[in-house]
Structure 1
Amino acid sequence: MNDVIIIGGSFAGLSAALQLGRARRKVTVLDTGLPRNRFAGHSHGMLGHDHKPPLDILAEARQQIGRYPAIRLVHARAESISGTIDNFSVLTDSGESLGARRLILSYGVVDQMPDVPGFAKSWGRSVIPCPYCDGFEVADQHWGLVWSGPQSHNQVRLFRDWTDRLTVLADGHDIPADIRTDLARRKVAVVDGRIAEIGHHGEHNAIVALDTGSKVSVDILFAHPRNRPSASLHESLDLATADTPLGIVLKVDERRETSVPGIYAAGDLTNPQLPSVTTASWQGAMAGIFAQQSMLSA
């Protein structure tokens, strides 16, 4: 019987495992090896690991975790979960059945690429979502922003810390007149029409073709497609969720516990609006600590 089974072994899951392993709790981490940021050439903003490829950071983390005998890393997918607190059972895609007192869900999300030629190929290169992750490297260049809803207005204000050259691509959205007036005041150009295709050359530089026949060239294009959890285990467990502008997230309390006692969650699965390796690592560490504390003897 494990103390904790962690489903998802990227930054959140491994951070949880590290805390539990150092507390000498028996842990199994199930991971498919497909982290969300595998498309990124470098990861930024994580102290001590700035500008390193994310897969290299994870490889180093797994190597370090190897010195804790209580942690078992397994390349497998969790197919189903049953049971209740202190007696959970997880079945893997290899047919192995594992028991645990607590569960931590950190299987992350999958970005749902729009059906636009070139978008998926450009993702992580000339089309990116996060200024905190990559904004410094493209500061003072011409940025483009694909409008996705009211939250995009705040993105316009946010981006000014990195650049004063910004073009908004409406992509078929009806941007209200008062917001258009504000964008004009900020000297932000708005281009109407739906995006028909995205091309790129070099490391960045996106060329956006519109259904109007015109093209817009920017040095980097920011877009925020909706995402979905990368597994459906939370549905079978009937965990409480919330619908955000970017997708479904799991609800957790201040101790990272979900609506089902004994099940904790961390990372992008609970926080898609500010995804970063630093946030995921912090949330994972807290989930591990709180799961460990919940098992202390009376």
Structure 2
Amino acid sequence: MTERTETMYDVVIVGGGAAGLSAAQMLGRTRRSVAVVDSGEPRNAPAEEVHGFLSRDGISPAELLAVGRAEAERYGAAIVPGEVVAAAGDVHRGFEVTLDGGAVLRGRRLLITTGLTDELPDIPGLRERWGKDVLHCPFCHGWEVRDQVIGVLGTGPWSVHQSLLFRQWSNNITLFLNNTVTPGDGDLEQMAARGIKVVEGAVETLRVEGGFLRGVVLAGGPEVAVDAVVAGSRVHARLGAFTGLGLRATPHPMGIGDYLETDAEGATAVPGVWAAGNVTDLRAQVLASAASAAWTAVVINNHLMAEELERDLLAYRTSAALTGA
């Protein structure tokens, strides 16, 4: 049964991560009515800690979101559990989002902060350790594996760059080509200069023992002991619910996945719909996602203000014409 709310929020935000909550806080401070739909599935949930977030370094993802929800609610935002399965409407009539439980929320504007999903290589043991000792970002997790034995799983052209980058954190780096990466002569020279080992052959599995990653097992070959593995994922914007609005993901020029295109202020191709955070910026870390969403919230507020000003001017001029004022 569909439960359609009579409330028309100023803004409905789909996505309750750092970006969505940051926007909700900012919009709440501008005295806007806001609903945040939170599916409860943040991308960084497997990670133990958030890093590179000034004043919150080392906080767990769950605690960061709990703090963010409390701050957004303090300014009047409604946090609505659920997953959006469909969206419809336009900037003139307003937008409606339908939740998996059948509820329908309405908003004058729509902000998409649904983030990304990671498509991981199909290697046993890898997903089990994802966000723990299987990593992808040196700036997020490099410090935690400093001076350890690090293997870089070949997944594409960027794997060579990853091995060179992680060399800043450890002098014991091995690039597993995994029958996927073919370094050029220049790549091989650079890695040799930095003391990076290169291992040929396909990776069959990661050996996990006692709750820790122990080694990389090659197909038909030996096991190489490692403390951590770097694995680049392909990332995909979470946009399935918004196809009814005409929104589609765009392949990223770096060849690492897809994203939702916006202008510099977060506006999508659909008037009245904005996006912020990882769904539109694949490289943004948690702090950058929150910051971009805060600015997009300012832009949305200003668009609403302009609409209200136009409405009130029309009413004022009509009244003045009737009274002769």
Is the radius of gyration larger for structure 1 or structure 2? 2
Contact 1:127–1:206 (8 Å) recurs in 2: no
Q: Tell which deviates more after alignment, 43-52 or 194-203.
A: 194-203
User: 1:113 aligned to 2:120?
Assistant: yes
For 2:129 and 2:188, the matched residues in 1 are separated by: 28
Aligned to 1:60: 67
Q: What RMSD over aligned residues (CA atoms) do the two structures have, in Å?
A: 1.8
Distance of 1:128 and 1:183 partners within structure 2: 20
Identity %: 35
The answer as to 2:31 corresponding to 1:24 is yes
Q: CA deviation at 1:90?
A: 1.3
Matched with 1:243 is: 251
Residue 168 of structure 2: SS of its match in structure 1?
coil
Instruction: Give a deviation string over 1:98-148, Cα, whole Å, max 9, x none.
Output: 221111111111212332211111111110111111111211222211122
Aligned residues of 2:13 and 2:20 also touching (Cα < 8 A): yes
Higher helix share: 2
CA spacing shift, 1:203–1:279, aligned 2, 3 Å: farther
Higher relative contact order (CA 8 A, sep 6+): 1
Letter of the 1:194 counterpart? A
The answer to whether residue 49 in structure 2 is matched with residue 42 in structure 1 is yes
TM-score by length of 1: 0.93
Question: How far is the alpha carbon of 1:164 from its aligned partner?
Answer: 2.4
> 2:152·2:175 contact (CA, 8 Å) conserved in 1?
yes
SS in 1 for 2:101: coil
Contact 2:129 2:213 in 1 (8 A): no
Distance 1:261 1:163 in 2: 48
What letter is aligned with 1:267? G
In structure 1, the gaps of 5 or more residues are: none
Preserved CA contact (<8 Å) 2:164 2:191: no
Greater mean alpha carbon deviation, residues 148-157 or residues 209-218: 148-157
Q: CA deviation at 1:88?
A: 1.2
**Deviation, structure 1 residue 206:** 4.1
Q: Distance in 2 between matches of 1:202 and 1:237?
A: 48
The secondary structure found in structure 2 opposite 1:157 is helix
- Structure 2 gap segments, 5+ residues each: 1-7, 310-325
Show the counterpart of 1:258.
Answer: 268
1:76 to 72, 79, 82: 82
Q: TM-score, normalised by structure 2?
A: 0.86
Deviation of 1:234 after TM superposition, in Å, equals 3.7
1:6 Cα deviation from its structure 2 partner: 0.4
